[in-house]
Amino acid sequence: MTATEYPMADALQPLFPTLIGGGMKYFELKSDPENGTLAKSDTPLNIGVVLSGGQAAGGHNVIMGIYKMAKMLHPDSKVWGFLSGPHGIYTGNYMEITGEYMDLYNNMGGFDMIRAGRHKIETES
């Protein structure tokens, strides 16, 4: 199943011109639910996570869910956390999130794992 096979609201296409339409294939998941196999990816995924705004319950569990799903899809997939919110994106401040690191934050509330920030990524237009 590819990203372009999902119907998208026409109103979203102008907002995400490089993501929606044009036949861009991000990755393909293979599954056979009739035979009990789960979705898999033939290639490892690299997924970036950034937290923005104030503290919220369950932030660490969201990152853990992303990590577990990425590893389920392909065991060599990696999840990268941008540190201190959007500031980490434009300063290149990031880290690989590992299972061992996640164990330190298991079921703890907040955003301490990679820290959130209140910076904004904006354009002048």
Domain boundaries, the chain: 1-42, 44-119
> 116 with 55: CB under 8 angstroms?
yes
Task: Decide: helix, strand or coil at residue 35.
Answer: helix
Judged against a pLDDT cut of 70, whether residue 111 lies above it is answered with: yes
How far is Cα 94 from Cα 80, in angstroms, rounded to an integer? 7
Which residues does 12 contact at the CB level (< 8 Å), separation at least 6? 20
Q: Which of 81-85, 94-98, 104-108, 110-114 has the highest mean pLDDT?
A: 94-98
- Asked if pLDDT for residue 26 goes beyond 70, the answer is no
CATH fold for domain 44-119:
Rossmann fold (3.40.50)
97 or 14, greater pLDDT = 97
Mean pLDDT of 65-91: 90
pLDDT number for residue 78? 95
Comparison of pLDDT for 12 and 108, the residue scoring more? 108
Rounded Cα gap, residues 63 and 42, in angstroms: 23
Give me the residues paired with residue 49 across strands.
Answer: 81
Claim: this prediction has a pTM higher than 0.85 = no
